[in-house]
């Protein structure tokens, strides 16, 4: 049994992805040239965690990418950069979502700050 597919018209956003390549000699991050990724969904609602030491932001936005719909669909890496609406964000978490009952990728959720 497969999960239902998201309608393509639901994926109205596009992003630029700059893959994290490592650090230079001064420990500054190095990123690849931007790659335009189409047919994604960006949810710009931040999530916070509250503890005794105060409030901490977990992510500024969630980005949803779907196998077979989002093009291209790279192997996203933490510390890579995403640009949408003219603002750069850093990927802090990559969450692969798999089909039910099989080991087949359905989508990828990106948490960015």
* Rg of the chain on CA atoms, in Å: 15
29, β-bridge pairs: 23
Residue reference for tokens 């192997």: 75
- Is the confidence at residue 94, as pLDDT, over 70? yes
State the pLDDT at residue 51.
Answer: 63
Residue reference for tokens 């039910």: 100
CA angle 49, 86, 95 (to 5 degrees): 45
pTM, full prediction: 0.86
User: Domain locations in the chain?
Assistant: 18-112
Rounded to whole angstroms, the Cα distance separating 37 from 94 reads 16
Rounded to whole angstroms, the Cα distance separating 45 from 47 reads 7
State the pLDDT at residue 30.
Answer: 96
Beta pairing, strands 35-43 & 29-31: unpaired
- Is the confidence at residue 82, as pLDDT, over 80? yes
Rounded to whole angstroms, the Cα distance separating 77 from 96 reads 12
Q: What is the pLDDT of residues 4-63, one digit of tens each?
A: 889 999 999 999 999 999 999 999 999 999 999 999 999 987 555 566 676 655 558 899
State the pLDDT at residue 20.
Answer: 98
Helix, strand or coil for residue 81?
strand
């Amino acid at each position: 049994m497969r999960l239902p597919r998201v309608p393509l018209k639901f994926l109205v956003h596009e992003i630029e992805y700059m893959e994290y390549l490592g650090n230079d000699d001064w420990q500054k991050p190095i990123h690849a040239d931007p790659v335009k990724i189409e047919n994604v969904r960006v949810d710009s609602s931040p999530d916070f965690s509250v503890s005794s030491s105060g409030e901490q932001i977990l992510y500024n936005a969630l980005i949803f990418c779907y196998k077979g719909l989002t093009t291209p669909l790279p192997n996203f890496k933490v510390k890579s950069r995403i640009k949408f609406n003219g603002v750069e964000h850093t990927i802090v978490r990559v969450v692969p979502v798999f089909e039910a009952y099989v080991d087949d990728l359905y989508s990828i959720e990106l948490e960015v700050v």
